[in-house]
Amino acid sequence: MIIDASDLILGRIASFAAKKAMLGENIIIVNSENAVVTGKKESVLARYKQRKELGSRPTKGPFMPKMPDRFVRRAVRGMLPYKKEKGREAYKRVMCHIGVPAEFSGKKHETVPGASISKAPSLRYTYVKTICESMKGKK
């Protein structure tokens, strides 16, 4: 299953992808930099900055991915029981990509029902690429 994450809410994509991966499907998420996180931009960026600075030593974590594809994949991991064998196997079936790779460009992309940003109760949102750029990640 190929999911186009453009203008879709990150948490809803992650829960949908985790559920499908637990059922044994291979999930590919394209355009992961265009997924959105709802809320005021300043508060969303402050929350991720605080989470990044939470640890006392850089070698102990918490480790926050700074690239949009890894950021989205980490959100999916949060929806999986990744400490158990079935969760680790499901996590291996989830792949995220920045943009649309050539091998998936001609194939049909699906969307997640109910995850569109137009369905959000608030019109305030931030793109994943903006969050990653604020954490000094690559563009």
Give 10-residue mean pLDDT values along the chain (139 residues).
93 95 96 92 87 69 84 94 95 94 90 86 87 76
| Residue 139 placed within a domain | no
Determine, yes or no, domain membership for 101.
yes
The enclosing domain of 91 has a CATH number of 3.90.1180.10
The per-residue pLDDT for 75 is 94
Q: What pLDDT is stored for residue 71 in this prediction?
A: 93
Report yes or no: 74 and 68 within 8 Å, Cβ to Cβ. no
State the pTM of this model.
0.87
Domain containing residue 95? 2-134
Q: What is the pLDDT of residues 98-137, one digit of tens each?
A: 999 999 988 999 889 888 888 777 788 999 999 888 887 5
Query: How many domains does the chain contain in total?
Result: 1
